[in-house]
Amino acid sequence: MSNEIVEKKEQMLTLSDTLTNSLLDVKGGLPTDLNVERFVNNSIALLNDNEQLSAFAKQYGTNQIKSGLMKSAFLGLDPLNKEVYLIPYGSKLNFQIDYRGAKKLAKKYSIRPIKDIYAQLVRQGDDFKTWSDDKGQHFDFQPMPFSDNAIVGAFAVCQYEDGGVVIDTMSIADLENTRKHSKASNSMAWKDFTGQMYLKTVLHRLCKHIEIDFENAKQKELFDEDMSINVQEDTPPVVDALAEDNIVDTDYTESEVEE
């Protein structure tokens, strides 16, 4: 066994022990349904399987890796399920919530029970329209199958269990303007996974209009911090309609993005 492999194995064992101890020290502030042992095992499995993250541990140090994993645990998000990720930016690893993680948090902690919440990209050639009538606001989305055409915008929808609907839309100009003012506009996430970041941006903006009640202040702090990275404060109001007509009950259909 090479020295490099031995060194990596020892590093992961040390990280596993320190992460476990740190989580047990703050267990009262973690989500009540978080299984600490499973979270640690999933985190170490991800680091062992992902060469890029292993390189990050060596380049940035295990303390930054541990810091990001601790934030994941406070929110109850699983890095192995790609609900969060660490993005190198300068001399630091930035913790960011993935589109899937934002959906999970909104559904779990919304005061008004959510039936479904999702975002979709709109490309050239897709048929997308919104309209209002005496029943409220509606939309219809008919995407072209397997289209790789240019992205012209994105929209997010939240369907509540009581029939209410919240909709937000952003043009490509809106999305790029948000990217321009982002604190991490030149990060790997924006450069390599632009479509994924568009989805996250419009979903995060929608979440600003959903009343979310976290279990503790630390969770709210981390969620708000993540939103401030990608979402501008001067966001226009969205529509909340008590009508389910013409609602597309689908989920994200873009290819899964590897961390």
For the chain, how are helix, strand and coil distributed in percent, rounded to 5? 45, 20, 30
Decide which of 6 and 125 is more confident.
125
Average pLDDT over residues 46-75: 84
- Neighbour count for residue 218 (Cβ, 10 Å): 15
Res 7: pLDDT: 64
Q: What is the pLDDT of residues 1-32, one digit of tens each?
A: 566 666 667 777 888 899 999 999 998 899 99
Looking at residue 45, its amino acid is A
Contact 128, 141 (CB under 8 A): yes
Average pLDDT over residues 30-45: 92
The domain locations on the chain are 3-81, 100-241
| Nearest one of 89, 64, 69, 109 to 212, comparing CA atoms | 109
Q: Which residues pair with 154 in a beta bridge?
A: 121, 170
pTM over 0.75: yes
Average pLDDT over residues 171-193: 82
SS3 128: strand
Four-residue CA torsion sign, 158, 187, 234, 220? positive
Which segment of 43-47, 143-147, 181-185, 211-215 scores lowest on mean pLDDT?
A: 181-185
Structure tokens at 255: 């290819």
pLDDT band for position 232 (cuts 50, 70, 90): very low
Average pLDDT over residues 79-106: 86
Average pLDDT over residues 31-40: 94
Q: Which residues pair with 94 in a beta bridge?
A: 87
For the chain, the average pLDDT equals: 81
Tell me the percentage of the chain whose pLDDT exceeds 70.
Answer: 83
Res 55: pLDDT: 75
Q: Which residues pair with 130 in a beta bridge?
A: 139
Q: Report the residue count for the chain.
A: 259
Rounded Cα distance, 79 and 101, in Å: 9
Average pLDDT over residues 48-66: 79
pLDDT band for position 191 (cuts 50, 70, 90): confident
